[in-house]
């Protein structure tokens, strides 16, 4: 295993009610070819057993009131001791060489930060997760297409000093992880072979909650007509683009949950513009 102290890695996970997935993620981090110097679980006000599971798996737990991932990740990075910081979501898991491959371009002096194109849907066997993947155009089980650009404004790994110099993430809700690059005036570079997995929402309620989270964020308001794009007549039109063997009823149900969540989130963002968390 690679454990070079010159390039110590702190993994920061901001998690809110992730008891269904967090143990799987933490155990995948124990099998890395590049061992992290620490794993920090920022418990974002969870009401389930996320924090206790993290304690059982020897993660360093920082409890916070529920304020969303921007605040949680910033606090995690401030408390990290590693030269590099890797940000993960509680519903992910990592292939054994993930940390090694993700941080390689930084350790080789090629860039300040990286991301990975190789994020795969972990639960496509679940019909709701599959419907969500189709709806969000996760083609071939990938969250990002193979021809995705090699530079992006979303850092998955970054030098801690650069992260702090940029002032961390802006608390804008969904899309907060894309607010650092413009402040640093540098992009994240794709790290080849950094394979990881993400669990899509796997029930109608989770799809609805995900849509609501997106609707509350700042990123959706960059669209020309965010409200119109989620009205019922648009939903029915989009179902025709779901060209798969998926039953129409499943497509309709998944899209109804998602777009209803987005519309509620957009409404809430109007009523409470400074409350971005779930």
CATH of the domain at 41: 3.90.550.10
Average pLDDT over residues 23-33: 98
By the 8 A CB rule, do 143 and 120 touch?
yes
In a domain, 252, yes or no: yes
Please tell me the predicted confidence (pLDDT) of residue 237.
62
Structure tokens at 74: 């910033």
Question: Could you report the per-residue pLDDT of 200-249, keeping only the tens digit for each?
Answer: 999 999 999 999 999 999 888 788 788 887 877 666 666 656 656 678 78
- Statement: residue 185 has pLDDT above 90: yes
Same-domain pairing of 183 and 262? no
Q: How high is the pLDDT of residue 240?
A: 59
Q: Do 165 and 58 have their domain in common?
A: yes
Give the confidence band of 25 by pLDDT, cuts at 50, 70, 90: very high
Separation of alpha carbons 130 and 267, rounded Å = 28
**Structure confidence at residue 1 (pLDDT):** 46
Is 36 part of a structural domain of the chain?
A: yes
Whether 36 and 124 share a structural domain = yes
Last residue of a domain, one of 198, 231, 246: 198
The answer to whether residue 168 is domain-embedded is yes
Give the range of the structural domain holding residue 234, as residue numbers without chain letter: 204-271
- The answer on 214 and 174 residing in a single domain is no
79, pLDDT greater than 80: yes
Q: 19 and 135 in one domain?
A: yes
Nearest to 261 by CA among 216, 195, 199, 200: 216
Q: Given 178, 198, 218, which residue is the final one in a domain?
A: 198
Domains: count for the chain: 2
Q: What pTM was computed for the model? A: 0.93
| One domain, residues 79 and 148 | yes
- Indicate if 29 and 111 belong to the same structural domain: yes
**CB-based burial, 212-226: b 16+ in 10 Å, e otherwise:** bbbbbbbebeeeeeb
Angle at 220 between CA 74 and CA 210, to 5 degrees: 70
Domain end residue (candidates: 198, 229, 245): 198
**Pair (151, 226) in one structural domain:** no
pLDDT digits (tens, 9 = 90+) for 83-109: 999 999 999 999 999 999 999 999 999
pLDDT of residue 218: 84
- Is 276 a domain residue? no
- Per-residue pLDDT band for 187 (boundaries 50, 70, 90) equals very high
57 and 137 share one domain: yes
One domain for residues 128 and 27: yes
If asked whether residues 245 and 149 sit together in one domain, one would say no
């Amino acid at each position: 295993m690679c454990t070079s102290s010159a390039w110590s890695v702190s993994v920061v996970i901001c998690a809110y009610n992730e008891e269904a997935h967090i143990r799987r993620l933490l155990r995948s981090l124990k099998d890395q070819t590049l061992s992290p110097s620490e794993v920090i679980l920022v418990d974002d006000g969870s009401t389930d057993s996320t924090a206790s599971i993290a304690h059982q798996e020897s993660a360093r737990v920082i409890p916070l009131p529920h304020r969303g991932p921007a605040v949680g990740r910033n606090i995690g990075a401030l408390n990290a001791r590693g030269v590099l910081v890797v940000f993960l979501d509680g519903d992910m898991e990592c292939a054994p060489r993930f940390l090694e491959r993700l941080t390689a371009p930084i350790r080789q002096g090629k860039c300040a930060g990286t991301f990975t194109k190789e994020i795969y849907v972990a639960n496509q066997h679940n019909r709701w997760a599959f419907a969500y993947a189709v709806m969000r155009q996760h083609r071939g089980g990938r969250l990002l297409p193979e021809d995705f650009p090699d530079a992006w404004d979303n850092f998955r790994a970054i030098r801690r000093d650069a992260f702090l110099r940029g002032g961390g993430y802006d608390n804008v809700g969904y899309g907060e992880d894309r607010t650092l690059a413009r402040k640093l005036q540098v992009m994240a570079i794709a790290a080849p072979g950094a394979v990881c997995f993400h669990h899509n929402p796997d029930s109608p309620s989770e799809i609805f909650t995900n849509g609501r989270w997106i609707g509350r964020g700042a990123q959706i308001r960059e669209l020309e007509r965010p409200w119109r794009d989620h009205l019922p007549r648009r939903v029915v039109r989009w179902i025709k683009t779901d060209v798969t063997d998926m039953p129409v009823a499943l497509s309709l149900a998944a899209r109804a949950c998602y777009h209803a969540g987005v519309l509620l989130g957009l409404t809430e963002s109007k009523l409470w513009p400074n409350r971005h968390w779930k």
